[in-house]
Structure formats: structure tokens, C-alpha cells
Structure 1
Amino acid sequence: MDMKVKSSLIRKYRTERLWSQEHLSKVSGLGLRTIQRLESRGSCSSETIMSLASVFEVDAATLVWRDGCYQAYKHKQWGIVTFTAIVILAAAILGINDLYKFLPSEALGIIFGVLTIVAIIFSSMTIEVNESEVRWYFGPGVFKKQISLEEIANCNNVKNPIWMGFGIHSFGTGWIYNVSGLLGIEIELKGGSFIRLGTNQPNYLIQAIVDAKDNVE
């Protein structure tokens, strides 16, 4: 009996090794059509799963979708840009205050306390995809958001213009969530609104969403 597999994860393992489908077929002993089918349809036999697990040197269970207890995708991107901007701002405030002494030490303490909190919150952004939803949050788990897979009409790669900035804010008919870089994905919801998620793995994230929706269907 065929089992549903994490085709996006298998593709990730293959491309990380710079392997073509033909090469994976050769080293695993599986037919090329089998490789093509499992990457496009996300299903294969248990014997195929064992062969792939052996080739990739992973536990076979990590390649299989398990209803109610699997997580298709999880990725944390560090907020290098936002952290650097906060450090520069803090240094500028400290330098100017050393010259002009316009802020008392108590005020400086409050400012640096606020900047520290902001730096912690936007130090990273984690995006997860599971069998029912896409969810994301900042830092240790702040500003958690989620949307169900059923709400998603489409998703595409985007390159955010630099004027969109970082953090959380609205744009036109949607919202953007980003801590670093210009790459991301744009999720179109069935209601007509949009959500942009900054990520340095846009292709993997889109494939994970597609695979998760296929698993539900």
C-alpha cells in the first residue's frame, strides 16, 4: 500500500546534495519514474521509503506524513537586518548623548531597555507548516499568527521593495511580516487579502504549503 511522503523534504535532501533525480535513482536503486512520481504526487511504497531513508541517512519516519502528529516544515530566520539597525540606533543615541548630554541616565536606561526588548522580539522569525495551518511568530514566540490551509487560494515568490521595511505593518490589501532580507512569499487568501512572509527559503516554504494542502485533500 502506498504511503504519503514529505515530497518537499525529499526534494530538499536531494537538492542540498546537488543530486539530479537521475542520480538519486542510481544511488537508491529506485526507478526514475518512481522518483518523479513521489516528488510530484507525494506517495510511494514502504520499500521506497526505506531505500530513500538509507540513502539520505535519516530515520524513515521523518519522511512520512502521519495524520495529526507531523510537521511539514519549520524554519527560523535570524533578524540580522533588524538587529543591526537597532545596534546602530543605540550607538548613535549613545554617541550623540556623550557630545550634548541632552538625556539623563534614567532616560537612557529606559531607551536602551525598550531597544533591548525590541531586539529580542525581532531577533528571529519562525514559520511552521503542519497538516492544518501555516503559523509564524517572532523571537521567543511573540505576535503569533496563523491561517488555515483552507483559507489559502494561492502563494508565490516575491521580492519585497526595500521601502516596505521590516517588522509588522500593513500594505495595500494585506500585511507583511519580516525580520531580514527582501525575499519572501505572498499568500493570497480566498477573501482577497494578502499576507507577505519574509523568508530566505521561499521555494521550500511554498512547496511545503502545497504538499500540506495535497495531504489534506
Structure 2
Amino acid sequence: MGKAEVEEMFARLKGLNPTPETELEYTTPYELLVAVTLSAQATDVGVNKATRKLFPVANTPAAIAALGVDGLKPYIATIGLFNTKAENVVAMARLLLERHGGEVPRDRAALEALPGVGRKTANVVLNTAFGEPTMAVDTHIFRVANRTGLAPGKTVRAVEDALLRTVPGHYLQDAHHWLILHGRYVCKARRPDCPHCAIRDLCRYKDKTPGEPVPATA
């Protein structure tokens, strides 16, 4: 996409959803960190069902550490890879208590040093909890960036770097939310809903789903 097309793309996405938010439910940076850690290879809907039961019981590093791995597992047993995730979340809680006074650090290196936290999770926390203009590339964003021609890349990191170069600065804070939601509900993996796509005319995808364009609505 050209510079003007990128600007138009995000202007349209913003017009449809001026204040996009994560679909994970949280009230504190720590709750967000736990929710994002649990969301790997799981749906936000599934994570929310689990955390609605967990967070009223334990939503601080101290409470999670006290719960322990065996105590945590029943709350997250419906989430994929729950055994490993339980170990990581409890180890993370203990490390936050030992190194950061029980607070979630606003630092990429410190976040990525926590058990179960990779670059994508750190980016989500930095962006959503702390307002940093980061780009958390998941499968949806990877797909949208490549399909549309917005920021093609063969790896997640290549797409992240390309998006940081390409997305206009005034859209960067909310860009990853717009792209995730677009990939989740419109530019879907198996059958993209091209007739309802607000950026269909800008998109470079050659195999668009046939159908007459439908006026975009929020």
C-alpha cells in the first residue's frame, strides 16, 4: 500500500471504531498480564470465562502465589495448555513479588524475563496497560498485514517492524486493536468477508470473497 492508502485505511477503521479496546476483561495491569498469558492458543472468550471465576478469588501476584499451581489449575482447566500456563502464571507472580514489589514493570526486557511472557505479550501489556505505541502481532494481524499489502513479511517480527515503519504515528496507539478486530471478524482466515470490508478497495488480496460490496457499518 502507498502512504495515502495506509492513511485512508486507518481513517476508515477509526471511523468505524473510534476507541477500540481489547476483548480480554481486566481492571489492572496485572490482570491484563495474566489474561494475555492465558490467551496463547486460546480464545478471548474462553479466557474471560476462566478469569471471571479466578480474579474475584485471586487477582494479585501475592494471591496467585498463595494459590499455587494446584490451586490455580481448576480455574483455568478449560483453557488449552492449562498445566504449563498454571506453572508460568504462578512462577510469574513469585518473580513479580521478588523483583518488582508485586508491580507489573513498564519495561520490555523486564516483562520478557517473566515466565510465559514473550514479545507479543509484552507488547500487549505495554500498549494496553501503559499506553505505549507498540505493535503486538498475532495470527490475525500477521494475516491482515500480508493479505492487504499493508506490511508484508515472512515472520511475525518482520511484520511487526514493517507495521511500526508503515502505520502513521497518530494511529499507532490503537492500530493493533483495529487490525486484530478486523482480522477476527472481517478478514477471517478461511473465508474473509470481503463484501462487508471497509477497506476492500484498498486491499491487495487477489482472492477476494465474491459478492457486491456492502456499505460499512460500525
Which TM-score applies when normalising by structure 2? 0.28
Higher strand share: 1
* Higher RCO structure (Cα 8 Å, ≥6 apart): 2
Higher helix share: 2
Which TM-score applies when normalising by structure 1? 0.28
